[in-house]
A and B are shown apart, each in its own frame.
Chain A
Amino acid sequence: TQLLEQSPQFLSIQEGENLTVYCNSSSVFSSLQWYRQEPGEGPVLLVTVVTGGEVKKLKRLTFQFGDARKDSSLHITAAQPGDTGLYLCAGRRDSSYKLIFGSGTRLLVRP
């Protein structure tokens, strides 16, 4: 059973469209990180959210941490082909140093 479920698993959209990726759990996380991974490379950290209700923006990407710290979302505005990749959420529980990874969302943005 995956502790962090991401949806959708796959997403294929046209350049210019908006999209939202969800990361859900029944457990509370002390912090949550979002990564993007491209083929042949390791995951690259996009953002870390630590406070319930927190919203962070990174250019066209908007990240939100749920009020109860059990879920998070990533919204991309006007997607570009360069946004193509595997998006992973990862959370830390309590005082554990371990990072629990979500199931991943594979995004394809068509020109």
Chain B
Amino acid sequence: SAVISQKPSRDICQRGTSLTIQCQVDSQVTMMFWYRQQPGQSLTLIATANQGSEATYESGFVIDKFPISRPNLTFSTLTVSNMSPEDSSIYLCSVGWDSPLHFGNGTRLTVT
């Protein structure tokens, strides 16, 4: 299994600002994904991070709001842009070889 390091683990941000979340994996993985989880709730896929090309976004999520980078096979970032209190959530990075398999510990974001 892969070891996933996600930073920051938590942050409190002001409305209108942006936060970039980093996901580092200890081995090369084919696929990296970003999920959102409301506290105590299930997971919703935001996008699939593709190396060398634009991320593939799910319905309801757009690149302007959640830009994603994936410069290589072990690293990805998710930016939450122009934040509002509705963006308060847990953001999780996931990796796998043909589908999501392992998850990071998440970034708990609170927007005030």
Verify B92–A42 contact, CB threshold 8 A.
Answer: yes
Tell me how many residues of A have a C-beta within 8 Å of chain B: 22
Q: Are A43 and B43 in contact (CB under 8 A)?
A: yes
Question: What A residues does B31 contact at CB under 8 A?
Answer: 97
B42-A41 in contact (CB<8A) = no
Contacts of B44 in A (CB 8 A): 101
Determine chain B's interface SS by DSSP, over half rule: strand
Q: How large is the interface on B (under 10, 10 to 19, 20 to 34, 35 or more residues)?
A: 20 to 34
Instruction: Encode A37-60 as 1/0 by CB contact (under 8 A) with B.
Output: 000111111000000000000000
Query: A-B contact count, CB below 8 Å?
Result: 51
Interchain CB contact under 8 A, A43 and B45: no
Which secondary structure dominates where chain A touches chain B?
loop
Q: How distant is the Cα of A98 from the Cα of B43 in the complex, in angstroms?
A: 12
Give CA–CA (A103, B38) in the complex, Å. Answer: 12
Indicate if the CB atoms of A101 and B99 lie closer than 8 Å.
no
Query: Smallest distance from the beta carbon of A30 to chain B beta carbons, Å?
Result: 10
| Among candidates A41, A92, A99, A103, residue contacting B106 with C-beta atoms closer than 8 Å | A41
Whether A42 contacts B40 by the Cβ 8 Å rule is no
User: A48's closest neighbor in chain B, by CB?
Assistant: B101
How far is it, in angstroms, between the C-alpha of A25 and the C-alpha of B48 when the chains are bound? Answer: 24
* CB-defined contacts of A69 to chain B, threshold 8 Å: none
Closest 7 CB pairs of A and B: A42-B103, A97-B99, A99-B100, A101-B43, A101-B42, A104-B42, A42-B105
Q: 7 extra interchain contacts, Cβ-Cβ under 8 A, other than A88-B42, A88-B43?
A: A42-B103, A44-B103, A45-B102, A90-B100, A92-B99, A97-B99, A97-B100
Q: B: which residues have CB within 8 A of A?
A: 1, 4, 6, 31, 40-45, 48, 92, 94, 96, 98-106, 108
